[in-house]
Structure 1
């Protein structure tokens, strides 16, 4: 039952080529930067994993985190709501060059598709996107005089998320807005890997405060002082580091 993993490298060692990976975060808030960078380091050392499908709210910023994964050529497809955010140059260049695919999903629909995946609901109807290109090819039904588009659940092979506190059984709490997509992704992935800022023993989290129960978590690695995407981008950081 002890789900603690000693190193970041071990935490991401099982992700294979072609995997679908949900990555938590709303912009930089809640983004598991260290897990992402550990996956990039593994790719640079071994050439794997590649051809990944990444599911996130956006397509990364600058040259760190998800943007760095895209820049290294690890990502075959992005499923996201905001492919163009504060500094989307990496994704934009790859997309215009035909080197990465995009599935654009409205933000609320993205969250609900992930929630449905975790809840075992294969499909649902939403008015969002009706009459637009995003609804092309999807079933449409009318309810109470309004047209709705059918959307399918969204599941993944892996979820990489960031939490504030976790115990050895996998129970998690989050810090403020860093919670965002993480609890939904933990439920919708076949294997959930979490970086936590603080690790405690069982009983160290008030049961009433648990947000994600340990049943949805497979591995925890402690990162006491995690990096923040915005701070890294303000410092013009790159991963891997650019040397002269």
Structure 2
């Protein structure tokens, strides 16, 4: 049963070689950083705990050392299994250099795996990740040569291929909540998201491990039953942290937690290339559709739709469990003011992977002649897919959004004509992507509608491959598009008819 303690005592209880699951998402959402900081301090002072395995579904940290970054010391961790790595550059470097074993799995799969571990089931059996880098045929999610154990396997059920992500024992779950009463009941009532807090706690408790909670307050009265996110029977240790923030941008904002409705600040409009791509992508949204917006370029689309008076024409959602409201962008992606609904990310991923959304707008690091997309490994640095793969698996229509080139690309638009001021030195339309985060082959097998939208051209995935279907006004198809690609796409007949001779 629950015991109140302090962060230093918690840190002292973590033993070497332990497997630790943590909650959290970018922007400080449900990030138990006071406890993680205490564990880090103990390691730096004593060299223990060491050789840890850390598992997290979404990106955890601020990019400056919080969250997952607390474990990013040589010898402190042996293995990391993560859905999104970008919020801890130090941990990215450890994986890149082979100093740790690293796995990158879909964020929704990891969140669901916590639930399946807690339920005593044989892992997650899903089609999410087929023919991508997490498929054993393409590496099994391993990030370097130091990573050798197979944690995912290809199986067949009823004549169809599936991936099985294997369960593992969780020794400690470290979670964050708003408050806990004297019975240990945890509530996330003041938080912008619930994420996978219950599943993370369940995984440790039913593995015979311990559940450790960081909370802002210890109210004298009991937490109302309907507001309990994790029942006290599952909680072992609780640390009261009065200076705990709701998220990076707010100590407490009731419009973020959905407790009250308030005025929505004016949405900041994107500019430059993000605006150009977002405006073109917005044309792919039909009326009354269920929509997901991914991180990066797609995060600009809600602002464009609002500026066009289309803010109420669709039902938007993100993988953190948020439905509708005024979606925030940048570091606070995954939150919204005045949301209609805040549900667990585990339930949200079930809805996504099962086909609950009509169209998704996702980022695009690079794409290739098979229609594959990479967002999970840029250069030699692991980024991870986050919820990208879970969302892409279930969506009926996929619209990938990004710049046509990288590093140095500058454009301007005047009178609806695009002018390329300086080209990028790194192509993004490549012969073969470094990491297959989205499989064009699998998409064709599944009959998906797929578009690739850049500032100067639009491509479509058809039965024979990637086809160029649109070129922006002011752009020369041969000079500015085809000659700057590493592969030759199919070309829509209408473009050939209208293009000047070369």
- With normalisation by structure 2, the TM-score equals 0.43
Deviation at 1:92, TM superposition (A): 2.5
Unaligned stretches of 5+ in structure 1? 235-244
- Summarize the alignment of residues 89-104 of structure 1 with structure 2, pairs less than 5 Å apart: 89-104=89-104
Equivalent of 1:207 in 225, 247, 269: 225
SS in 2 for 1:156: coil
Which residue in 2 is equivalent to 1:176?
Answer: 191
Distance 1:71 1:103, change over 3 A: same
> Where do residues 38-77 of structure 1 align in structure 2 (5 Å cutoff)?
38-56=38-56, 57-58=58-59, 60=61, 61-71=63-73, 73-77=75-79
> Are the aligned partners of 2:74 and 2:94 in contact in 1 as well (CA < 8 Å)?
no
CA distance in 1, matches of 2:169, 2:8: 24
Asked if the contact 2:20–2:171 (Cα under 8 Å) also holds between the matched residues in 1, the reply is yes
* CA displacement 1:40-89 (0-9 Å, x = unmatched): 11112221001111111236422223213204641221111112x25x42
Q: CA deviation at 1:142?
A: 3.5
Q: CA deviation at 1:163?
A: 0.6
How many pairs does the alignment contain?
227
Point out the more displaced range, 222-231 or 36-45: 222-231
Q: CA RMSD in A?
A: 2.2
Per the alignment, residue 18 of structure 2 pairs with 19
- Label 1:161 to 1:129 Cα distance change in 2 as closer, same or farther (>3 A): same
Ranked by relative contact order (alpha carbons within 8 Å, sequence separation 6 or more), the top structure is: 1
Residue deviations 1:148-179, cap 9 Å, x none? 21222344100111110101221111133442
Which residue of structure 2 lines up, in the alignment, with residue 148 of structure 1? Answer: 162
Native 8 Å contact 1:26 1:181 kept in 2: no
Change (3 A) 1:65 1:58: same
Flag the structure with larger Rg: 2
Q: 1:228 to 1:171 in 2, by over 3 A?
A: closer
Q: Does structure 1 retain, via aligned residues, the 8 Å contact 2:109–2:124? A: no
Change (3 A) 1:209 1:59: closer
Per the TM alignment, residue 227 of structure 1 is displaced from its structure 2 partner at its CA by: 4.9
Inter-partner Cα distance in structure 2 for 1:164 and 1:50? 29
